[in-house]
Every structure is written in C-alpha cells, then in structure tokens.
Amino acid sequence: MVVNMRKKRRPIPGVVVPPLRTVQIGFRICPADSRLLSQLARDAGVGHLTLARLVVEKYLADVRGKGAGGKKDKGVGR
C-alpha cells in the first residue's frame, strides 16, 4: 500500500497558483529513431525530450492551420 506522506499545504494569502496548462504524455520509438532524435537534439543544443515536444507541437500547429477544408492525406500512420 502506498501512502501519501505529503502534508497538505496551507494557502498563502495573496498567492494564486495558476491551473496546470500542460498534459504529460509518453510514447515509444524504435532504438534507431531514439539515437537519431538524441543526435539531432544534441546538434540543436536542446534535450531530446524538448526536441520531441517541439516536433509534435509543430505538427499539430500545421494540422490546425490547414482547417477543415484543406485536409490532405499525407499517409500518416501507414
């Protein structure tokens, strides 16, 4: 049985904690892709997880920018 040993913190007057704005996800990639991602991240001067997040964010921004009428099947997932 796991017991949460953290004490409940009392609110500090005047301090407002913003709601969580991100969601954590995970995914698996093959070892060769992992090595490539690490190398590309090193070359870019960022961490491999940061680079993976940036790639996903860029892809989603591109998809959002196409709108409902401009969707094209690029064979993703095939």
Q: Is residue 11 part of a domain?
A: no
Q: Is residue 50 part of a domain?
A: yes
Residues 6+ apart with CB under 8 A from 7: none
pLDDT tens by residue, 24-77:
899 999 999 999 999 999 999 999 999 999 999 999 999 999 875 555 555 555
pLDDT tens by residue, 32-44:
999 999 999 999 9
Domain count, the chain: 1
Q: Is residue 49 part of a domain?
A: yes
Exposed (0-12), middle (13-18) or buried (19+): which is 43, by Cβ within 10 Å?
A: exposed
Alpha-carbon distances of 14 from 11, 17, 18, rounded to whole Å: 9, 10, 13
Quick one: which H or E segment has residue 48?
helix 48-66
Q: Is residue 55 part of a domain?
A: yes
Q: Which domain holds residue 39?
A: 31-66
